[in-house]
Chain A
Amino acid sequence: MKTATGIIRALNSGIKHLAVKRFTLRYPEEKLEFVGDGYQFDPSTGVGIAGLKGRHMLFHDHCTGCQLCSIACEGVAEAIGMVKVPEEQKQNKKSIMPQIDYGKCVFCGLCVDACPFYALYMTNDYELSSFSKEGLIYTPAQLAVKPYVRQDSSIQITERGATHG
């Protein structure tokens, strides 16, 4: 008898969920909302600013070519290589800037923590797939582009359960 009521209660618990709203996020029709413009770091206080650790963004007018980001990444993934850039910036004597290989990067953000000149941040862009390995290597010019990321869905908690909306 106890077994029978137990099974009925278990079934009932499942059936009740027919009336509950769907929680699944319908990616890619819906995309998640993030808290900021990506993970950033303030070298003056030594504390980061919360945000998604996505694709990097390089500010050409701040980067001095000091290679500290590349040194920080050496112990992690060796994803950063320093490459020559055609343009001349007065703070960047050697005209070298980081190039990031997203086939290797693990999105830890330690390079952002290492940059003392507010030149390297992370953005909310996480859709980085490519058909070739070369397509994953982002040159300094590609890293300078601010991505557009659609964000239209976050977790809503109502009486009838949680949904994405």
Chain B
Amino acid sequence: MTLNVGPQHPGSGHMRIIVQIDGDHIVACDPDPGYVHRGEEKMAEYRNYITNIPHLERPVIHDSCNILYPYVLGVEELLGIETPERAKYVRVIASELNRCIYTMYWLAIYGIFLGHSTMFMWPAGDRELLIDLMEKMTGARVTHAHFVPGGVRNDLPPNFEDVCLRQVNYFEKRIKEYADIFYDNPILISRTRDTGVLSRQDAIRLGTTGSVLRASGVDYDVRKKEPYDVYDELDVNTNVMKEGDSYARSRVPWLDMMESCNIIRSALEKMPSSGSVRVKLKPNPKGGHDTVYKRVESGRGSLGCYIVSDGKPEPYRVKMSVGSFRNLIALPYLLKGEKLGNMPAVYWSLNYWPVEADR
């Protein structure tokens, strides 16, 4: 029998999964993304390097700093801009806060997918601590439009470091409490352990990235392997698990959040206390005839941005290579032979964001 899951189903996100079932078992599965394609890449060809910023961050509004990061790094290289040291630290703090905000949202939905409504309420509430910080820092709760080529839009508000430290410490204490209720909960473990196992070879062969790759035992993180901005001055420890099942894939992002808290703390410590945060640009800056490719580690894995410039104020081509799409490729392999009831647990553990995959 063929079963369509989505695209209207709230659980599937704006995408359809076409599953062939035999009784309770999945015989084949065909993910069908594309329902929220907005043509961001095409739109970018008609706007200049600065006005591209507000709309290029739309695909993942919870992680808008990270999705802009490779674009901004690429434009900086194209235009030959040297970013001030303080701005680099501010960017690292903003992107780590954003990674946690995204992961909390993802975790909330993972909780409700598994019927654990407490795990929906807690992350959705604790996320507010970080959203409040982002609001103080950038002036917007989501879609911050904060990163620009040459730094960030505005300096930190007065007294931000103390508030940030206090709220991040409390946040870390809160997420550690999730162990008892969720991650060490036998009910969750029995639902997710040994479902949708992705072996180390398959994870590499299918080109998965981010937490999916790390949950299958591959120690790969762009922040560590190709450090950008000031990540080489900060200690980044990656969390790797060997199992490759849904449980490992759901646990790795949670461990990553604690690592993000450490990075934020050490960035706050090492950040120069004063200095400029933004280089003044000419209006309508033009790039030369050049191409750049930059990538960063987003909440969903490696996120690359390829920019071609032909000497005009608008880019000739902007292409994003996003983690969500690369992880989705693994779904048919993981669901084959699984029970239908395990589908939500496997599907959402892929750390997949439909809008980002469609762009």
Chain A residues proximal to chain B, CB less than 8 Å: 2-3, 6-7, 9-10, 12-14, 23-25, 32, 34-36, 38-39, 45-53, 72, 74-77, 106-110, 113-114, 122, 155, 157, 162
Contacts and interface: CB of A to CB of B under 8 A. Distances in A.
A107 B186 CA distance: 45
A35 B185 contact: no
A78 to B, nearest CB: 11
Contacts, number: 114
A51 B185 contact: no
A36 B159 CA distance: 12
**Range for the number of chain B residues in contact with chain A:** 35 or more
Nearest to B52: A75
A46 B278 contact: yes
A126 to B, nearest CB: 10
B242 interface: no
Given A13-B177, A48-B154, A110 B50 contact: yes
Given A13-B181, A76-B51, A48 B153 contact: yes
A73 to B, nearest CB: 8
Contacts of A14: 118, 181
B47 interface: yes
A35 B136 contact: yes
A110 B54 contact: yes
Interface in B280-294: 280-281, 283
Contacts of A106: 54, 143
B140 A36 contact: no
A80 to B, nearest CB: 13
A72 B50 CA distance: 9
B167 A155 contact: yes
Contact of B187 (A7, A50, A76, A155): A7
Nearest to A50: B157
